[in-house]
Structure 1
Amino acid sequence: MAAAAPLYTDVAEGPEGGAAYWLTTMDGVRVRAGIWPAAGTAKGTILLFPGRTEYIEKYGRTACDLTAAGYTVLVMDWRGQGLADRMHPDEKAGHVEKFRDYQHDVAAMMDLARELELPEPFHLIAHSMGGCIGLRALYEGLPVSSVAFSGPMWGISISAPVRPAAWVLGWGSGKLGLGGTYAPGTKPQAYVIAEPFENNQLTTSPEMFHHLQRQIGRYPELGIGGPSLTWLHEALLECRGLARMPSPDLPCRTFVGACERIVDIGRIRERMDKWPGGKLDVIEGAEHEVLMEIKSVRDWVTSEIIAHFDAHGRASGTAVPGGAIAQRA
């Protein structure tokens, strides 16, 4: 049985009955998973893949909407962030040795879902870096009935003149033993602490930005800073590899802010143009984190995702009482 882990409910502002667990991956890394059970009878389970720097508690408010709609929510702290094991002596650096290592975390997440007999069918919400991890997981057989992506990292927003230098710098740093060095222009501090709200790249909502500041301010151990040069190189390699693969034949909705400055919106358009039956929504005025945007945007995106999952759930008979999970926990 997975061991109990901390869940900072005071800053998560998530639904009642949440729980967190320590998981050990097949390569010996300790990661953390959080579960919020569905209200009433569960329609299924949403696997929520966060982005780089993120942590379980960040999605507490989103989980309130999803559980109220009848879905259990299972969310991860990926290796190197949140309360999971850090992968470099500098614990504030966002670091991973190989991007495919995140698939070990996905496997541990699915083992927990089966151990706790979470209700099926499974659906996927994947944000930013989680969108890159999630797309790879789909190719490797992640058992979901439908998917929704938010600002997926299928390419990184780097200007054309700088892109060759990013490749060379990432590759060369590993050869020189400098792979843990921060990528140029990034800092050890968490973004929401190091940068002001004005002109931030995450959200146009002052309330949500300050909510994220409160979370990291209260529990600084949740935060990390910029990516390492090794992470950057590995991410570029993974994005390039995935771009060569066809889109999976799964019902898909993708949402991206029209003001996106973190991931490559051109790559998102290319992918969704070739996704069988997929639909892309570009949200005017929104930044990178559409699930952390102003309330009208958050509410619309969440309602669209819920409707998408409702339309692609399997026949009745798979639902179980949502309280069963809390009782097992």
Structure 2
Amino acid sequence: MMLDAPFHGALAEGPEGARAFWLETADNLRVRVAHYPGPADAAGTVLLFPGRTEYVEKYGRVAKDLAGHGYHTLTIDWRGQGLADRMHTDPRAGHVTLFRDYQFDVDAMVAAARDLDLPQPFYLLAHSMGGCIALRSLVRGLDVRAAAFTGPMWGIRMAVPLRPAAWALGWGSARIGMGHVYAPTTGPESYVASAPFAGNLLTTDRDGWDYMRRQVVEVPELQLGGPSLRWVHQALAECATLARIPSPDVPGIAFVGENERIVDVPRIMRRMAAWPGGKLEIVGGGEHEVLMDGPPARRRVIAAMTAFFAAAGSPQGAAADRPSRSGLVCPAH
């Protein structure tokens, strides 16, 4: 049974009539989903997988754009973030026991989409950490017509000499019961709430930055700090495991900012080059969060994404798209 959950609609700026619900996962945690309605004659529903630190209100503007293209949106607060159950006594620590545990959240979300009788077919949009979770879900057989990714976390950008230290710290900390400790250089502060706009790693758009900051400042419960050592170890392990698995036979498109500085871009390029029906688009001037850039850039990305979705829904279009890889550059401004 789904129960109504708190939802900050004014801060989300999404389509009218949006609602949030509590869900219980198979391992007895409480997560939150939000349904952003689309038109009555919808082309389908986008299952939106957010990134680390994110929450359902953050994608209100994106959902409004998707509704304009004919789609409902269902998105989620993953375990350990947003208003979902936090995974440690320190609620600011970005922590998870096993990375595959996020699949419990995915299963609950998909069940909710069906219980709400949302329009089918389902499509997938996944950002950053959500891209890693999504790839695992697709390998498990998630039933979507097509998948889109923005800055997918199929690898974490870090200096090569630091990788052995990151693995060792994560593995060793878990063995001595210190896996919840923050990763080096991070702490309980929310990046968006505490960092200046100038030089930030997420967006080039001041209004997009203020939109994100306003949400976490006005609702501090949405804030999340740095990742725990356990999370880092689990994320690296999951990325390494997925790198050895072939891409699923689902049409996929990925968007990467030209100035991406958080995730491993070469891994994205290798994955998309080998993806059946895959396309890679570089967003000129973009940072990690191309969907939090200015309205013109965001709408161009959404337009390209929904055109890809529409082509995947057409036997002729899907067949034409399958072997291609795009070098399109979308200007950020």
Name the amino acid aligned to 1:140: R
Name the amino acid aligned to 1:119: P
Deviation at 1:211, TM superposition (A): 1.0
Task: Tell me the equivalent position of 1:321.
Answer: none
Unaligned runs of 5+ in 1: 316-329
Task: Tell me the equivalent position of 1:171.
Answer: 171
Q: Distance in 2 between matches of 1:312 and 1:143?
A: 13
Task: Tell me the equivalent position of 1:127.
Answer: 127
Deviation at 1:295, TM superposition (A): 2.4
Q: Distance in 2 between matches of 1:2 and 1:149?
A: 28
Name the amino acid aligned to 1:244: R
Task: Tell me the equivalent position of 1:318.
Answer: none
Deviation at 1:314, TM superposition (A): 6.3
Is 1:22 equivalent to 2:25 in the alignment? no
| 1:272–1:280 contact (8 Å) kept in structure 2 | yes
Deviation at 1:10, TM superposition (A): 1.2
Q: Distance in 1 between matches of 2:114 and 2:314?
A: 18
Deviation at 1:218, TM superposition (A): 0.6
Task: Tell me the equivalent position of 1:319.
Answer: none
* 1:240 to 1:218, Cα distance in 2 relative to 1, 3 A: same
Q: Distance in 1 between matches of 2:42 and 2:82?
A: 28
What are the residue-to-residue correspondences of 1:96-111 with 2, within 5 Å? 96-111=96-111
Deviation at 1:309, TM superposition (A): 1.1
Is 1:253 equivalent to 2:253 in the alignment? yes
Deviation at 1:313, TM superposition (A): 2.5
What are the residue-to-residue correspondences of 1:143-154 with 2, within 5 Å? 143-154=143-154
Quote the RMSD (CA, aligned, Å). Answer: 1.0
Q: Distance in 2 between matches of 1:80 and 1:29?
A: 10
Partner SS, residue 145 of structure 1: coil
Is 1:44 equivalent to 2:47 in the alignment? no
| 1:31–1:85 contact (8 Å) kept in structure 2 | yes
Name the amino acid aligned to 1:81: Q
Unaligned runs of 5+ in 2: 316-333
Tell me the TM-score normalised to structure 1 length: 0.94
Deviation at 1:189, TM superposition (A): 1.3
Deviation at 1:187, TM superposition (A): 2.0
Deviation at 1:213, TM superposition (A): 0.8
Deviation at 1:282, TM superposition (A): 1.3
Partner SS, residue 144 of structure 1: coil
Task: Tell me the equivalent position of 2:210.
Answer: 210
Task: Tell me the equivalent position of 2:328.
Answer: none
Task: Tell me the equivalent position of 1:75.
Answer: 75
Name the amino acid aligned to 2:252: C
Q: Tell which deviates more after alignment, 232-241 or 192-201.
A: 192-201
* 1:314 to 1:34, Cα distance in 2 relative to 1, 3 A: farther
Is 1:197 equivalent to 2:197 in the alignment? yes
Task: Tell me the equivalent position of 1:299.
Answer: 299
| 1:30–1:79 contact (8 Å) kept in structure 2 | yes
Task: Tell me the equivalent position of 2:244.
Answer: 244
Partner SS, residue 84 of structure 1: coil
Task: Tell me the equivalent position of 2:290.
Answer: 290
Write out per-residue CA displacement over residues 255-310 of structure 1, whole angstroms, 9 at most, x where no aligned residue: 00111111000110110111112110111211000000122221110111111112
| 1:43–1:313 contact (8 Å) kept in structure 2 | no
Q: Distance in 2 between matches of 1:258 and 1:35?
A: 31
Partner SS, residue 45 of structure 1: strand
Q: Distance in 1 between matches of 2:64 and 2:294?
A: 16
Q: Tell which deviates more after alignment, 147-156 or 179-188.
A: 179-188
Q: Tell which deviates more after alignment, 149-158 or 180-189.
A: 180-189
Write out per-residue CA displacement over residues 107-161 of structure 1, whole angstroms, 9 at most, x where no aligned residue: 0001111111111100000000000000000011100000100000000001111
Tell me the TM-score normalised to structure 2 length: 0.93
| 1:121–1:314 contact (8 Å) kept in structure 2 | no
Q: Distance in 2 between matches of 1:40 and 1:28?
A: 34
Q: Distance in 2 between matches of 1:223 and 1:313?
A: 38
Deviation at 1:15, TM superposition (A): 0.4
Q: Distance in 1 between matches of 2:103 and 2:149?
A: 17
Task: Tell me the equivalent position of 2:160.
Answer: 160
* 1:303 to 1:238, Cα distance in 2 relative to 1, 3 A: same
Write out per-residue CA displacement over residues 189-240 of structure 1, whole angstroms, 9 at most, x where no aligned residue: 1111121111110001111101111001110101100000000000000000
**4+ residue runs over 4 A deviation:** none
Task: Tell me the equivalent position of 2:112.
Answer: 112
Task: Tell me the equivalent position of 2:181.
Answer: 181
Percent identity of paired positions between Structure 1 and Structure 2:
57
| 1:259–1:287 contact (8 Å) kept in structure 2 | yes
Q: Distance in 2 between matches of 1:82 and 1:266?
A: 30
Aligned length: 315
Task: Tell me the equivalent position of 1:220.
Answer: 220
| 1:99–1:238 contact (8 Å) kept in structure 2 | yes
More RCO (CA 8 Å, sep 6+)? 1
Partner SS, residue 148 of structure 1: strand
Write out per-residue CA displacement over residues 160-207 of structure 1, whole angstroms, 9 at most, x where no aligned residue: 111111110111110111101111111211111121111110001111
Q: Distance in 1 between matches of 2:299 and 2:43?
A: 20
